[in-house]
Amino acid sequence: MSRSKTILITGGAGFIGSHVVRLFVQKYPNYHIYNLDALTYAGNLENLSDLENQPNYTFIKGDITDELFIQELFDTYKFEGVIHLAAESHVDRSITDPLAFVKTNVIGTIVLLNAFKDCWKDDFEDKLFYHISTDEVYGTLGETGLFIETTPYDPNSPYSASKASSDHFVRAYGETYKLPYVISNCSNNYGQNQFPEKLIPLFINNIINNKPLPVYGDGNYTRDWLYVKDHAIAIDLIFHKGKQGETYNIGGFNEWKNIDLVKLLCKQMDQKLNRASKASEQLITFVKDRPGHDLRYAIDASKIKNELSWEPSVTFEQGLELTIDWYLNNKRWLANIINGAYQAYYQKQYG
Ligand code: NAD
Ligand code: TYD
């Protein structure tokens, strides 16, 4: 059995974080997992209601930008490992409120780095700060080529600029203070528990409710999609077996133009909902483009594949079907988000 460890996971009530928390709590009974989350609009503790009574799991409500609080937390719990996912994560929101992204993604990351450094500066042995980032820091690709770990950073949105900045700070702390770190940059995730503002869950919800599907521009933008549970598995591998001071790209080997993805989603939804063939496609509506919209993201994930033997476990068709089934079977979860009731869960559960 692995030796005991105290691990801080930030942003664990969010989409990807909830899958990472569950994987670690269940797989490593010897670890104590502290899930720190501010419960912004994107944080939903219902995502983790099955873990509430696990003896190796503790939820802490708090903001990563609160310096004093974070320092005290490290003084109290002495986290040996940090897996940092807390962030503002939606590009469209970053266009309307860039400063919120600087506060959480840049300043919040520096606050955590400082607390980790101050806690362990005399003994970095066996400690690790794992920063979760995105492929969007590399900017946009043209019709060809793939992002590799050494692709120069060239962010185009306030979201990706804030994530790029946080990546640079993590690396700078590694160089300057010898802080042990690892970074991974992942492509677009999809799956259970994703807030219905991102493309796939928003469109699933709209199809269920027969609402228009707003495709930005001409729909010829390309993303590389990865099933969220495969991302969580990659994070587990990198945390335990990744090389310190390295970056790993994670992707699905799975590029889709938005319009083709939306048509596949419509087809699978029509089958699940017993609707006539192409019924949901009628809902597609081309709308004004996103400003600064990146044309194409695609990851070359051969480093993690070759060095850590990681590969996606499901095809896109399988992952999408699992995702659709989950949303159709969890209409209450979706309804609670739409009507805001999910935000009362913390109060009910934790007082
Ligand atoms: P999410 O928006 O679903 O969740 C973010 C979580 O962080 C929420 O629970 C929120 O309450 C919490 N949070 C926000 N601000 C906070 C603060 N100041 N203090 C404490 N907690 C705070 O995001 P996600 O999609 O799960 O993404 C998680 C991480 O993975 C992010 O760092 C994101 O940049 C990165 N990432 C996401 C994707 C993707 O496709 N979703 C792809 C690659 C990388
Ligand atoms: P999104 O899920 O917001 O992820 P990201 O911007 O981080 O890649 O968007 C995925 C793609 O779908 C992106 O090209 C923008 C597009 N999109 C739409 O066409 N319509 C929408 O309503 C949304 C939310 C996204």
Q: What is the CATH number of the domain that holds 90?
A: 3.40.50.720
Q: Provide the pLDDT confidence category of residue 325 given band limits of 50, 70 and 90.
A: very high
User: Strand, coil or helix: what is 249?
Assistant: strand
Helix (H) or strand (E) holding 322: helix 316-329
What mean pLDDT, rounded, does the chain reach?
Answer: 97
Cβ–ligand 2 distance for 258 under 6 Å, the answer yes
Is the pTM higher than 0.95? The answer reads yes
Total structural domains within the chain: 1
> Which of 133, 199, 284 is the best mutation target for the ligand 2 pocket, counting ligand atoms within 8 Å of the beta carbon and taking the most?
199
Q: How far is CA 43 from CA 1, 18, 89, 103, 185, in A?
A: 32, 9, 11, 17, 21
User: What is residue 214's predicted lDDT score, i.e. its pLDDT?
Assistant: 97
Q: In the block, which residue shows the tokens 């989950």? A: 326
Q: Quick: pLDDT tens for 58-100.
A: 999 999 999 999 999 999 999 999 999 999 999 999 999 999 9
Q: Which domain holds residue 85?
A: 5-190+225-253+297-314+340-350
Q: Is residue 1 scored above 80 in pLDDT?
A: no
Q: Provide the pLDDT confidence category of residue 187 given band limits of 50, 70 and 90.
A: very high
Give distance in angstroms: CA of 88 to centre of ligand 1.
6
Give distance in angstroms: CA of 290 to centre of ligand 1.
21
Q: In the block, which residue shows the tokens 């979760």? A: 132
Asked if the structure places residue 276 within a domain, the reply is no
Asked if the structure places residue 333 within a domain, the reply is no
Q: Is 340 exposed, middle or buried (0-12, 13-18, 19+ CB in 10 A)?
A: exposed
Asked if the structure places residue 290 within a domain, the reply is no
Q: Is residue 349 scored above 80 in pLDDT?
A: no
User: What is residue 94's predicted lDDT score, i.e. its pLDDT?
Assistant: 97
Residue 320's nearest CA partner among 189, 191, 186, 210 is 191
Asked if the structure places residue 15 within a domain, the reply is yes
Asked if the structure places residue 95 within a domain, the reply is yes
Q: Quick: pLDDT tens for 133-180.
A: 999 999 999 999 999 999 999 999 999 999 999 999 999 999 999 999
Asked if the structure places residue 334 within a domain, the reply is no
Strands, E assignment, 196-328:
213-216, 222-227, 247-250, 255-257, 284-287
Phi-psi region of 79 (alpha: psi -120 to 50; beta: other; left: phi over 0): beta
The pLDDT of 95-110, averaged and rounded, is 98
